[in-house]
Structure 1
Amino acid sequence: MGDFILAIDQGTTGSTVALMDAGGRLRASVNHEFTQHYPQPGWVEHRPADIWASVRKGIRAVLRKRLCRPSDIAAIGITNQRETAMLWDRDSGEALNNAVVWQCRRTTDFCEALKSAGHEKMVRRKSGLLLDPYFSASKFRWLLRNTRGVGRKLKAGKVLGGTVDSYLVWQLSGGGAHVSDVSNASRTSLMNLGSLGWDSELLELFEVPADILPRIVPSSGVLAHTRGVKGLPDGIPIAGIAGDQQAALFGQACFTPGDAKCTFGTGSFIVMNTGGELLYSRSNLLTTLAWQLGETGKPVYALEGGAFVCGAAVQWLRDGLQIIKRAGEVETLARQVEDHGGVEFVPALTGLGAPHWAPEARGMLCGLTRGSGRGHIARATLDAMALQNADILMAMERDLGKRMKPLRVDGGAAANDLLMQIQADVLGRKLIRPRVIETTVAGASYLAGLGVGLWSGVGEIRKIWEAEQEFRVKMTPHRRRQRFASWQKALERTLL
């Protein structure tokens, strides 16, 4: 058996392919972006062919680095943007429509109708999720009702549906496996958290036929094998799958109940390990599956709260307002001012997520004066990214009835030292940034390595994980209260 893991991190704006060795060292990483499609306000789509092309490019680019031979790859791990739904042809593997992305709000009216009809309590009890267009079920329903020719293909048994992990496994295995791991399945609103199977009542509510959906499998173990992928030998085990946020939790070695992490990506997500306990939130947070190790492994659950727009807010400063040329310039610009100067930016560019769940909310930039400049807008953006997370964390603490441990941070924006210090200040507790901030890649690699026995267990992985920097609180409690009061006023205006 080889001693390298090939990790595929399929994200919202691009795909990263990486190589990790048996010592847990990230040896290579290549990213390819792809086009985002916005056919109507509030709608977000991807072309599945673009997703698969970006993954294939990444595989070729990593192998060209000649750090290992293809035969040295012991396993493949997959982590992916969650909730994004798609349909494809069982025979050809070609998509039947564009994928409806997790950010897309096109099914808001349908979800509101289900709420009004009193279905949310049942949906939440069974799936752990709220009735919101964020999750996959209503997206599948929309695709089934709005894809040309789908009725004829359904009758012929030619339609397959799934989240991005399912689509990638199908392509990597040459159509040999239609599977989804428990963490991704738990984000569809169609899986029963107790039985870990598709729930007939939920399927009926969302009008999704069970036979188009993948088989639900553990997050770690030999789940499929490669076949017909250019540059890769046939037979490489696909041995680890997890949704991006669960992969990051695993990659941060958050193996003990109460351990938590925050990933700063397109959105930002705080996830806390609750162990074998199905803990339902009283504060509009989500109960989700963290992972399951092997067929006989017990499921590990988590509480989660996510803000839909985090790094995407910086992209908007770059592409929409054009006040920066590169995303990395936001820290330099924000450091030019002492603080936000009264400027508030609520980045509800695709609605508000936890704990508000307001899909109709729209972004707001307020508090501007003649003295306001680009620096204040940049600083208000970083503040907003941190304050959204603080709202979620405080909701988690209300559910737990106690303060959380120091928060582990990761994701691309975690490299921004100013943002990390702001986050520590508004949270009022220490942040820990790991040596490897690509923790989604790390988590997918660890799960795959465990699945083929490259590592013996989570204890061995815990020894691999290393801290790189800590950010300690510098803001006084009085200043923190003032900062929150200003933020809450802006939030209230957004939610009117």
Structure 2
Amino acid sequence: MTRYLVGIDNGSQSSKVTVFDERGGVVAEGRVPLRPNHTPEPGVVEHPDDDLWDSIAAACRLAMAAFPGDPSDIVGVGLCTIRFCRAVLRADGSLAQPVMSWMDARVGGPFVAEHDDVAYVTTSSGYVTHRLTGAFRDTAANYQGSWPIDTDTWRWADDPARYAATGLDRSQLFELVDPGAVLGTVTADAAAATGLPEGLPVVATANDKAVEALGCGLLDPSTLLVSLGTYIAGMSVGERNITSATDFWTNFGSEPGRWLYESGGIRRGMWTVSWFRDLLGPGAVAAAGDERVEDVLNREAAQVPPGSDGLLTVLDWLAPTDAPFRKGSMLGFDGRQGRAHVYRSILEGIAMTMRNRADAMGTELGTCYERVVVSGGGSSSDLMMQVMADVFQRPTIRVVGDSAAGRGAAICAAVATGVHPSFDAAAAAMVVERDRFAPDPEHAAVYDALRAVHADVTAHTDAVYRRTAAIVG
């Protein structure tokens, strides 16, 4: 009998639910977009109404409707949600106010009760766990930011000063469990809302980046993962809780006792690619015919030489918090460049930025990365994969499937339910390499020289952008 596992991936833009077989094959899927954030005033960014739960429940119904097998053969569901969100609950577990997005300024500071009926303060995964199981339990590995958690023990801190600093009382916090532990089982009400079988074990995972890393098979410190999303990050794993790093930060991993190291990243990373595509307008869509505009751009840009005939793109389309005056730059136009050059230059800017930031993290960790796994929507581009291989000068790998966080959640469920005996065994069985790209030595030499120039651009443009910001903002 084949056993099946469900992975819930509640991301920044949609909720995705995937049914996997025990070898990692995708059997059924459901995806429901999130509604636009509610931003009634500066600093307030909320998920409207009960949108997180509603989207997850709807995506579950779609996946279960598409599942061709016997629901009784589904043995567990892993739950992964967006990190840094905050849910404020009444005593019965219902929302006292809308869930705060990770972009909400309130989640970065001490909790301040805005209503008289607040009983619990938790993450989005804690809230959804309660909706699914009725339990007030949550994964320890999703408590990043302003929480009184001991990052060495993965449990609530004993120091009263930690609670005072975060504005929280111990009685307001959920019970913590490790990734790969059972949080509870699907209730009758949740089964009716989602289509998931009643009594199905719901399994703890971690924060979304760590679960994505697990779903890409990131268990070896010599492997680097580059996640090409709205926020682009470089990640590796290890067994040390490093709290004093300067070129990366340490996050809980998806396996108990393992930490995820995250390099500096690119805000509005792959968003910049979409921005340029949309900037081309209806004419480009019409010219593409039956093709996607991205496919046309990838094909055209593959004919452009490495270095885009001298065009450099620096991806500060969303300024870093320590340099709010900074802007994105495209430098080096001389009349040779067309849209394919601009597109390729954006991809090259992403790759060169992440190579420099990953190198800084690897140096501080004392790690030399031997291979690069690339995930996220940008990994579907063969050109992007080749540029990454040439810039990093390492074999660059894609894995099968496009929902790495969903697969990571299913891996946690596989461990909890005994489908596989360990995280290593589950990842080996369920994460399958799709293809790999070898670096081109000639292209790599060009990028090696360009990286130093690219890294130096902001030292020259910062003064310009300080002046323009003073005039036009």
Of the structure 1 ranges 360-369 and 445-454, higher mean CA displacement relative to structure 2 is found in: 360-369
* C-alpha distance after superposition, 1:57-109 (max 9, x if no partner): 2111111113223333211111222112232434362350352224x5x46xx
Structure possessing the higher radius of gyration over alpha carbons? 2
- The CA distance in 1 between the partners of 2:392 and 2:398, in whole Å, is 15
* C-alpha distance after superposition, 1:372-415 (max 9, x if no partner): 43323322221232223212211122112342121222222211
- 1:321 CA displacement: 6.8
Q: Which residue does the alignment assign to 2:446?
A: 479
Residues 272-421 of structure 1: pairs in structure 2 closer than 5 A: 272-275=236-239, 277-280=240-243, 282-293=245-256, 299-305=257-263, 306-319=265-278, 322=281, 328-329=294-295, 330-332=297-299, 334-335=301-302, 337-338=304-305, 339-352=307-320, 358=322, 360=324, 362-367=326-331, 369=333, 371=335, 372-421=337-386
Q: 2:179 pairs with 211, 216, 219, which one?
A: 219
- 1:310 CA displacement: 2.3
Mapped contact 2:138–2:204 kept (Cα < 8 A): no
Partner SS state of residue 256, structure 1: coil
* C-alpha distance after superposition, 1:351-382 (max 9, x if no partner): 43xxxx63736541332636243323322221
- 1:16 CA displacement: 0.7
Q: Which residue does the alignment assign to 1:101?
A: 102
Provide the alpha-carbon RMSD of the alignment: 2.9
Q: Which residue does the alignment assign to 1:22?
A: 22
- The CA distance in 1 between the partners of 2:407 and 2:139, in whole Å, is 17
- Extract structure 1 runs of 4+ deviating beyond 6 A: 40-43
Counterpart amino acid of residue 432 in structure 1 = I
Mapped contact 1:315–1:327 kept (Cα < 8 A): no
Counterpart amino acid of residue 7 in structure 1 = G
* C-alpha distance after superposition, 1:218-276 (max 9, x if no partner): 0112112111122233221102322222112222333334443222222222221112x
Mapped contact 1:86–1:100 kept (Cα < 8 A): no
* C-alpha distance after superposition, 1:106-154 (max 9, x if no partner): 46xxxxxxxxxxxxxxxxxxxxxxxxxxxx442x63xx36xxxx24223
Q: Which residue does the alignment assign to 1:468?
A: 434
207 and 388 in structure 1: CA distance in 2 versus 1, 3 angstrom threshold: farther
58 and 393 in structure 1: CA distance in 2 versus 1, 3 angstrom threshold: same
95 and 405 in structure 1: CA distance in 2 versus 1, 3 angstrom threshold: farther
| Superposition TM-score, scaled by structure 2 size | 0.83
* C-alpha distance after superposition, 1:303-331 (max 9, x if no partner): 21243332222233345675865673453
Identity %: 21
Mapped contact 2:211–2:404 kept (Cα < 8 A): yes
Partner SS state of residue 8, structure 1: strand
- The CA distance in 2 between the partners of 1:415 and 1:253, in whole Å, is 18
Counterpart amino acid of residue 393 in structure 2 = G
Of the structure 1 ranges 49-58 and 338-347, higher mean CA displacement relative to structure 2 is found in: 338-347
56 and 218 in structure 1: CA distance in 2 versus 1, 3 angstrom threshold: same
User: What is the aligned length?
Assistant: 443
Of the structure 1 ranges 52-61 and 473-482, higher mean CA displacement relative to structure 2 is found in: 473-482
Q: Structure 2, unaligned stretches of length 5 or more?
A: 286-291, 467-473
- The CA distance in 2 between the partners of 1:218 and 1:449, in whole Å, is 14
- 1:30 CA displacement: 2.4
- 1:26 CA displacement: 1.6
Mapped contact 1:36–1:45 kept (Cα < 8 A): no
Partner SS state of residue 76, structure 2: strand
Q: Which residue does the alignment assign to 1:72?
A: 73
Q: 1:37 and 2:37 equivalent?
A: yes
- The CA distance in 1 between the partners of 2:332 and 2:457, in whole Å, is 12
237 and 416 in structure 1: CA distance in 2 versus 1, 3 angstrom threshold: same
- The CA distance in 2 between the partners of 1:19 and 1:95, in whole Å, is 32
Q: Which residue does the alignment assign to 2:398?
A: 433
Partner SS state of residue 348, structure 1: coil
- The CA distance in 1 between the partners of 2:16 and 2:130, in whole Å, is 18
470 and 100 in structure 1: CA distance in 2 versus 1, 3 angstrom threshold: same
Mapped contact 2:87–2:122 kept (Cα < 8 A): yes
Partner SS state of residue 260, structure 1: strand
Q: Structure 1, unaligned stretches of length 5 or more?
A: 108-135, 294-298
- The CA distance in 2 between the partners of 1:93 and 1:432, in whole Å, is 43
Q: 1:232 pairs with 191, 196, 204, which one?
A: 196
Counterpart amino acid of residue 273 in structure 2 = V
Counterpart amino acid of residue 303 in structure 1 = Y
